[in-house]
Amino acid sequence: MRYISTRGQSAPQSFCDILLGGLAPDGGLYLPESYPQVSRADLDAWRKLSYAELAFAILSRFIDDIPAADLKAICDKTYTADVYGYVRDGAKASDITPVHWLEPGKLGLLELSNGPTLAFKDMAMQLLGNLFEYVLDKRGEEINILGATSGDTGSAAEYAMRGKHGVRVFMLSPHGRMSAFQRAQMYSLQDANIYNIAVRGMFDDAQDVVKAVSNDHAYKAKYKIGAVNSINWGRVAAQVVYYFKGYFAATESNDQQVSFVVPSGNFGNICAGHIARMMGLPVAKLILATNENDVLDEFFRSGVYRPRNTAETHATSSPSMDISKASNFERFVFDLVGRNGNAVRELWSKVDAGGAFDLSATPEFAAIGQYGFASGSSNHAARLATIRLADEKYATVIDTHTADGLKVALELRDPAVPTLVLETAQPAKFEETIVEALGRKPTRPAGLDNIEALPQRVEVMDVDAEAIKALIARTVEAG
Ligand SMILES: Cc1ncc(COP(=O)(O)O)c(C=O)c1O
Ligand SMILES: N[C@@H](CCOP(=O)(O)O)C(=O)O
């Protein structure tokens, strides 16, 4: 399997070669040359597999440069009840991504946040940590990860990489924008290989710095800069697995269809759903839900993609989705325009210059229905109302991002098709808003009671790629 860039000007690469880096050298994102196709016989066989077995079956379609026995061992080591198990009947459950039905057989939450940092990012990040370790050991190399977070990728990456030999993590977060719990989760880590940098800006500014550094090829090579955001293909590939697992949990036969509702920001999660559908998973609809930062909803409704600048990006009560420039959207547009790298390059020359593009009058947009997308958005009042509704009607406390998904699901679902809302975080991470909605605190998992009181370690900096590069260089050179 070879990987090509969405901008069409980088040489095809193997999985391990693209695993450690972020953007392709031409500034694009990597995708497989073609999507592996899944047959009916595959689906029948995969229905019976455990999560770790399914992860191996799917990932081995994307990864052909790690020996099968090693890849299997990595999947087995990653997807265990110890890492993802929630407590059921006094013991850790082993189903990794259970479906919590709100309306049996009709509307459910696909639980993705039972991992160590209580958000769906753990699903892929734990695997990435183990893959990095494997490849770095084989090559005798080290890596300096530069990432951007709006609250969840950062802690998932830091928990996956803390203490790992040969790995340093430099994580940029938006100063003052995350919840108190999210800040505490990241900034209280005292591991010597973890560096938290809060930038005076939004997530998009932080992500722009990551891209600027990745596009400085000499610096990237000298300081061995790697990526853990969903610009890294490994993240997206690992996220494909739970769409299959969710489908099997919600159906009895492979003749049925399922719709997925995905709270979205950087378009990584729903991009994985798009890929699962392109592989042949019987998905009826992929329903995208945004918060007040509704750039993606606007595109699916109008054909206009107009990323907002920092001043126009709202700070909301679903802060992890405060994103106005969705990196992975480029992967979908590459498919939409017939995998034409020149066309993508031209469209993103406008985006990268701070502009917009309009596909509304194109035959490609006229045919967008074939990809199965629908979309909607939410806001603070609707979020609070949905959290209350879930509590009162379904006796379930949901987090603010999942609430945006459920709000859109209730508006757009087809009651004849089982619909799974992707549960992207646990409510404990967003306590302030849960208290505002329900008048009581959500339950916290054991051991996290006083996390906000722990000493925190973070450097506050301007959004300045050169200054951040200098900090990384100083740290690496100091050993
Ligand atoms: C809790 C939560 N929900 C939803 C999202 C949006 O996911 P994506 O950026 O993959 O679209 C994020 C961040 O990415 C998140 O942390
Ligand atoms: N919501 C994320 C930001 C997007 O990150 P990605 O790693 O999925 O690209 C966060 O919580 O950090």
Place of tokens 């709100």: 102
**Radius of gyration, alpha carbons of the chain:** 21
CB of 154 within 6 A of ligand 1: the answer is no
- What is the Å distance from ligand 2's center to 269 Cα? 9
CB of 264 within 6 A of ligand 1: the answer is yes
pLDDT at 89 over 70: no
Q: At what angle do helices 180-187 and 153-161 cross, to 10 degrees?
A: 20
Give the model's pLDDT for residue 446.
85
pLDDT at 5 over 80: yes
- What is the Å distance from ligand 2's center to 153 Cα? 5
pLDDT tier for residue 207 given thresholds of 50, 70 and 90: very high
Ligand nearest to the backbone CA of 148: 2
CB of 152 within 6 A of ligand 1: the answer is yes
Of the candidates 267, 201, 210, 215, the one whose C-alpha atom is nearest the C-alpha of residue 236 is 267
Residues contacting ligand 2 via CB (< 6 Å): 149-154, 203, 229-230, 265-266, 268, 320
Q: Which residue among 182, 203, 402 has the greatest number of ligand 2 atoms within 8 angstroms of its CB, and so is best to mutate?
A: 203
CB of 119 within 6 A of ligand 1: the answer is yes
Closest atom of ligand 2 to 266 CA is: 4
Structure tokens at 215: 């596009």
- What is the Å distance from ligand 1's center to 287 Cα? 14
pLDDT tier for residue 22 given thresholds of 50, 70 and 90: confident
Q: Please list, residue by residue across 55-83, b when 16 or more beta carbons sit within 10 angstroms of its beta carbon and e when fewer do.
A: bbbbbbbbbeebeeeebbebbeebbebeb
CB of 268 within 6 A of ligand 1: the answer is yes
Q: Which residue among 232, 313, 320 has the greatest number of ligand 2 atoms within 8 angstroms of its CB, and so is best to mutate?
A: 320
Chain centroid to CA 51: how far?
Answer: 18
Ligand nearest to the backbone CA of 234: 2
DSSP state of 463: S
The full set of domains in the chain, from first to last, is 91-117+234-438 (3.40.50.1100)
Average pLDDT over residues 397-416: 98
Which residues are CB-neighbours of 120 under 8 A, at least 6 positions away?
112, 113, 152, 239, 269, 422, 423, 424, 425
Backbone angles phi, psi at 280, to 5 degrees: 120, 5
Average pLDDT over residues 65-84: 97
pLDDT at 234 over 90: yes
For this structure, is 121 an active site residue? yes
- What is the Å distance from ligand 1's center to 120 Cα? 8
pLDDT at 88 over 70: no
Q: Which residue among 266, 267, 321, 325 has the greatest number of ligand 2 atoms within 8 angstroms of its CB, and so is best to mutate?
A: 266
- Other beta carbons within 10 Å of 217: 9
Q: What is the largest CA-CA distance in the chain?
A: 61
Average pLDDT over residues 228-243: 97
Average pLDDT over residues 335-362: 97
C-alpha angle with apex 255: 264 to 373, nearest 5 degrees? 25
- What is the Å distance from ligand 2's center to 403 Cα? 18
pLDDT tier for residue 259 given thresholds of 50, 70 and 90: very high
Average pLDDT over residues 3-25: 95
Cβ distance 122 to 156 under 8 Å? yes
**Per-residue pLDDT tens for 120-177?**
999 999 999 999 999 999 999 999 999 999 999 999 999 999 988 889 999 999 999 9
Cα–Cα separations (whole angstroms), residue 279 to 42, 84, 241, 422, 431? 11, 26, 12, 20, 38
Classify residue 366 as exposed, middle or buried by CB count within 10 Å of its CB (0-12, 13-18, 19+).
exposed
Average pLDDT, the chain: 96
pLDDT at 378 over 90: yes
Of the candidates 344, 182, 327, 191, the one whose C-alpha atom is nearest the C-alpha of residue 268 is 327
Among 12-26, 28-42, 277-291, the range scoring the smallest mean pLDDT is 12-26
Give the model's pLDDT for residue 92.
76
